[in-house]
Structure 1
């Protein structure tokens, strides 16, 4: 009996140490419940004496088992809460990293008029990072993602064949947004025009 008392006291002290080092209101409440149950178990054993009847001993056993179950459940709940909190922290840390990465990445781009009233995000001169010339979808870019516009060929709509030959359609495979540009315009020619304009003396056409 003395060994059982010492074991329960040791469990209570261990639970008390976890309570002191665990953060969060929910986890503290669950560990407090576990500590209370362990102390109750310790008090049950300390109250035992040699004059107990069989019926009384059975009653104490049931109380002991009930307190043990409550303590085990409370500790399990505390561990689950701790694991959930740790997962949430990792998720938030990942989101912060992604936001920082996107913040740096979007600084490489500028909104650019590519003709015919169409706009796209293009890499700023000197910030291409060895990437080939490309146009990014405005809608996707404004929602925090990069999606290159793809050349879909001649324009569509109620135009004649000759009229359709005067423009090309570029579309986003992610959001299906599309733009129409002159038949001879594309990311490569647009980049060349930007570089030529940058090299030209100020004030020249």
Structure 2
């Protein structure tokens, strides 16, 4: 029986070594699982960062467009100050230069529809064959303005 003792101890030592190896393997597997979870968390964080950067860029672009629009409106307000809405014939209105003091027939006349949409469109005068009327035509296709005489011609 004593002669089997060293073999039994050796077997127990082998079992202990195998047990430790199994614990190491188990710990290694746990570590591998934790590493996989860690990598997934890093990938998720990177994806969230990319999405945040894209959203940030969209906001920067939106801010730039808003600033450009504000600048355009500021310039338009400065330009708008140079013109005044005036009746040029009965029921006919156009924007003319504020400083203009001559006859209306010779004034630069801007389309009111276009002007109110932040565009300057010079009205072109034409004669209407029937009824001996005058007309003003917008190059952007707004309705023609037809009248008999300018207000300052009576």
* TM-score, structure 1 as length reference: 0.52
Name the structure 2 match of 1:93: 67
Name the structure 1 match of 2:136: 170
Matched, 1:145 2:119: yes
Measured at CA, do residues 123 and 52 of structure 1 come closer, stay the same or move farther in structure 2, by a change above 3 Å?
Answer: farther
Matched-pair contact (CA < 8 Å) for 1:154–1:169 = yes
- For residue 64 of structure 1, report the CA deviation from its aligned partner: 2.0
Measured at CA, do residues 162 and 148 of structure 1 come closer, stay the same or move farther in structure 2, by a change above 3 Å?
Answer: closer
Matched-pair contact (CA < 8 Å) for 1:139–1:177 = no
Matched-pair contact (CA < 8 Å) for 1:137–1:146 = yes
Q: What is the total number of aligned residue pairs between the two structures?
A: 124
Give SS of 1:120's match. strand
Name the structure 1 match of 2:127: 154
Structure 2 unaligned blocks of 5 or more: 1-22, 101-105
Could you report, residue by residue, the CA deviation over 1:35-78 in whole angstroms, capped at 9, with x for unpaired residues?
A: xxxxxxxxxxxxxxx94534323312321221121111111012
Name the structure 2 match of 1:124: 98
Partner Cα separation in structure 1 for residue 83 and residue 32 of structure 2: 77
Matched-pair contact (CA < 8 Å) for 1:137–1:148 = yes
- For residue 172 of structure 1, report the CA deviation from its aligned partner: 1.7
Name the structure 2 match of 1:60: 34
Measured at CA, do residues 154 and 73 of structure 1 come closer, stay the same or move farther in structure 2, by a change above 3 Å?
Answer: same
Structure 1 unaligned blocks of 5 or more: 1-49, 127-131, 156-160, 194-205
Measured at CA, do residues 100 and 162 of structure 1 come closer, stay the same or move farther in structure 2, by a change above 3 Å?
Answer: closer
